[in-house]
Structures are given as C-alpha cells and as structure tokens.
Amino acid sequence: MIGITKPQIQTLKLGQSDNSANMQSTRVNVLGIAGSMRKGSFSTHALKLVLEEAKRYGSDSRVLDLREVRLPIYDPSGSVSEELYREVNGNRENVLDTVTKDINWADAFVLATPDYHGSMSGAMKNFLDYFWEEFAGKTFGYIIASHEKGLTVADQMRTSVRQCYGWSMPYNISINGGNDFNSTGNPINSALANRIKMLARDLVTYGTLIRRQFLQDVMNKEVSDTYASRYREYYN
C-alpha cells in the first residue's frame, strides 16, 4: 500500500491458545466497503443490514462508502494526486489517510458491489488495488446486487482477496434489486433474510478465529512454517 499509517496489533487480545475461553472478551472490527456509485444502491443497503446484524454477534462496524469517499484511480508510482484531498469541516483531509486508518482498524471485511458486466464495479476494483498486506489474515464476506446471482463477480473479488492472502467466506449474498426488498427496505425474500443473518454470524465467528490465530502467528517468532511469518516486518 502507499498509505502512511502503519498498523498496530491492537484490535484483538492475543496470547491465549484456548479460543473459546477468549471469545467473550473480544470484539471484532468489521468494515463494510460499499462499491456502488448509485444513490439508493441495493448492494449498499444489504451491506448495512449485514453490519447491523453483525453487531448482535459482538462486532463493531463501519461503512466505507466509495460513493462518498472518492479514491482517484490507483497510481503505483505513488505520486500524490490533488484528487486525494477534500475539505472536511474546514480542514484539508487526505482521503487515503482516512481510508487507510479504517483498513488497519478492520479485522474483517464485507465487500458489496453491483454486478457490472459480470464483474465488480470499477470503484471496488480501484479500492482493492490500493491495499495488499492490509488484507492478509483477515476474513471477507461478499454481497452482489445482480439480476444473475453475480457468481462471476464474487469469484473475481475472491481472487483479488486470495492474491493478498485474505480469507473468504465460502458463500455469497446475492440481491436481485427491488424484487428482494419492500418499500421500507426490509427483505421480502426469506432466504435472503436468513443469509444476511448467516453471513453476519459467520463473519464475526470465523473472522475472529482467523484474525486471532494470524496475529498470534505474526507475534510468535518461534513459528516459521506459517504464511503469517511473512508479515512480521509489516506489523513491527
């Protein structure tokens, strides 16, 4: 990543091998990425439902809405574009700085995107291009608004995440636009309502286990035969 902020191991308590004993005392941080530029987006709406539900299982959650936080097209040369700056309450703010803090805060992610030509939105792909080590050892869930279930979209997001050594939930949530919600935004499709609860619960449960183990392995320099050992310098 070209961000400025280095992460700190602070979000999960470490050092206990008995995961069940430690489970009650931890709160996992879940960051939802809203990848639609459309006002009234179905994928963003479903994302907010999942994050709200995830709080019931002991998570803190935030949304990073790419419609509001506009990241310029990623430039690997690292040149700092004027487009990265915006005014917030009279202060000049570097958007990438703010986004990077959220990414480092997160232990798990939910990526929500519309299906565009069988793929994720350009905004979502551009967001993913900015980060890589930050995604390692974190768990990802997927939401796709599509008229065709969006399986190819989910596969492509999974590929990007795997490439960065992130872990993916083995299923997705797919929304078929207005067919799945009533006028007040509640799911009218019971299968979708169940899947929202399932993703929320699984993301918190599996996301906590994976993140905790990853951080333990990063910290434990005596263990060398783990992918986590590659991230010791990064987390140092």
Ligand X SMILES: Cc1cc2nc3c(=O)[nH]c(=O)nc-3n(C[C@H](O)[C@H](O)[C@H](O)COP(=O)(O)O)c2cc1C
Site residues, ligand X (CB under 6 A): 36, 38, 41-44, 114-118, 145-148, 177
Whichever of 15 and 178 has its CB closer to ligand X, that residue is: 178
Q: What is the largest CA-CA distance in the chain?
A: 56
The rounded distance, in Å, linking the Cα atoms of 192 and 149 is: 12
Residue type, 134: E
CB closest to ligand X, residue no: 114
Q: How far is the CB of 42 from ligand X (least distance, A)?
A: 4
The rounded distance, in Å, linking the Cα atoms of 46 and 35 is: 12
Task: State the DSSP H helix or E strand holding residue 143, giving kind and residue range, or none if neither.
Answer: strand 139-145
- Cα 117 to Cα 126, 146, 183: the distances in Å are 16, 10, 27
Q: How far is the CB of 5 from ligand X (least distance, A)?
A: 29
Q: How far is the CB of 88 from ligand X (least distance, A)?
A: 25
Whichever of 22 and 152 has its CB closer to ligand X, that residue is: 152
Task: State the DSSP H helix or E strand holding residue 157, giving kind and residue range, or none if neither.
Answer: helix 151-163
Whichever of 37 and 193 has its CB closer to ligand X, that residue is: 37
Which residue in this structure is represented by tokens 């004027």? Answer: 82
Q: How far is the CB of 44 from ligand X (least distance, A)?
A: 6
Whichever of 146 and 216 has its CB closer to ligand X, that residue is: 146
Whichever of 17 and 184 has its CB closer to ligand X, that residue is: 184
- Cα 51 to Cα 13, 92, 113, 147: the distances in Å are 22, 29, 15, 23
Q: How far is the CB of 179 from ligand X (least distance, A)?
A: 10
